């Protein structure tokens, strides 16, 4: 496996961790002899990477990616790729709030889904090869159009991140409640939101800009529903609240039964602070 990164610091770290056979300085060098190329960069940088690697790709190579948005990636990458390569965009729906070479671990994709969005007329063999790659990492694979992918991820990933970032910002701006109080009493529910609100800022800025239409559509529905709850609270309509709160429990049960979530209460978060006090990782940001 040949690895490169735009950041010298990251390349150095990958060498130190030793999970690549070779670490090279440029993307063009990295792809020259590759049968499968996977671009792992923020969505907004994928067009630039495609432009850089396009002329260096060998005939018959497969080009893929891991971007969280697919229609914009197809739009930005495809024009730079030569006709003699196969383009099979991919999105592994897995990850943590951390990023960079230290954030990976062997089980990351186990039991999670990877979505492939091959363009019409793709070579079925290339699609199967990319599917096999992810399956060997433990993932399950589903194929859909880029447009449908972007709609599905807008509700299952992009909107949750936007809302999490937003509430953490709202809390940070309060004057009547101090920052120290927000932190102390975060176990009441707030801290659940801070995990995804600690995700890489560059990656997520690009996601929202690249999947604008679908995110705005889902956000519109969310705020409409929230206004309904707000009105129910103002007018004391407890039955409307109770009905929703009962319905939402069933969804969590389904997610747990499907194996996409742990059944352990509180995510299994159990250790006392004193016992689990370990250094807080300072993740590498993208582009560092």
Site for a second copy in 106-125 (CB under 8 A): 107, 110-113, 115
284 binds a second copy, rule: CB under 8 A? no
Query: In the set 35, 59, 83, 274, which binds a second copy (CB under 8 A)?
Result: 274
CB of 119 to a second copy, least distance (A): 21
State the DSSP code for 109.
T
What residues from 228 to 257 belong to the interface with a second copy (CB under 8 A)? 229-230, 233-234, 236, 238, 241-242, 244-249, 251-257
51 close to 45: Cβ distance less than 8 angstroms = no
Give the strand pairing for 90-92 and 113-116: antiparallel
Residues 36-95 within binding reach of a second copy (CB under 8 A): 44, 68, 93-95
**CA 139/CA 206 separation, integer angstroms:** 25
CB–CB of 182/171 below 8 Å? yes
Cα–Cα dist 122/145, whole Å? 12
| Residue 39 vs 94, nearer CB to a second copy | 94
User: In the bound complex, what is the minimum distance in angstroms from residue 235's beta carbon to a second copy?
Assistant: 10
**SS3 of the chain: helix, strand, coil, percent, to 5:** 55, 10, 35
Figure out which of the listed residues 14, 81, 153, 286 binds a second copy, where binding follows CB under 8 A. Answer: 153
Q: Of the two residues 57 and 66, which places its CB atom closer to a second copy in the complex?
A: 66
Q: How far apart are CA 149 and CA 134, in angstroms?
A: 17
193 to 222, contacts with a second copy by CB under 8 A? 193-199, 201-202, 204-206, 208-209, 212, 215-216, 218-219, 221-222
């Amino acid at each position: 496996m040949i690895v490169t990164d735009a950041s010298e610091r990251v390349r150095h770290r990958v060498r130190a961790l030793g999970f690549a056979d070779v670490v090279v300085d440029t993307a063009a060098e990295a792809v020259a002899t590759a049968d499968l190329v996977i671009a792992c960069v923020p969505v907004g940088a994928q067009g630039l990477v495609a432009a850089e690697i396009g002329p260096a790709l060998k005939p018959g190579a497969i080009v893929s990616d891991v971007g969280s948005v697919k229609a914009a990636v197809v739009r930005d990458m495809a024009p730079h790729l030569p006709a003699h390569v196969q383009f099979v965009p991919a999105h592994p729906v897995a990850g943590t709030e951390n990023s960079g070479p230290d954030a990976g671990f062997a089980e990351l994709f186990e039991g999670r889904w990877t979505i492939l969005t091959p363009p019409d007329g793709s070579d079925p063999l290339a699609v199967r090869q990319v599917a096999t790659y992810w399956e060997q990492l433990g993932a399950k694979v589903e194929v859909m159009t880029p447009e449908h992918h972007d709609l599905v991820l807008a509700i299952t990933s992009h909107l949750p991140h936007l809302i999490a970032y937003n509430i953490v910002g709202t809390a940070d701006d309060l004057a009547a409640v101090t920052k120290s109080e927000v932190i102390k009493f975060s176990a009441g529910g707030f801290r659940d939101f801070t995990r995804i609100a600690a995700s890489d800022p560059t990656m997520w800025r690009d996601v929202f800009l690249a999947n604008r239409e679908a995110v705005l559509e889902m956000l519109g529905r969310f705020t409409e529903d929230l206004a309904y709850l707000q009105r129910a609270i103002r007018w004391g309509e407890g039955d409307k609240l109770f009905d929703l709160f009962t319905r939402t429990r069933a969804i969590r049960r389904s997610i747990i039964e499907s194996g996409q979530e742990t059944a352990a209460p509180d995510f299994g978060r159990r250790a006392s602070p004193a016992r689990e006090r370990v250094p807080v990782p300072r993740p590498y940001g993208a582009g560092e």
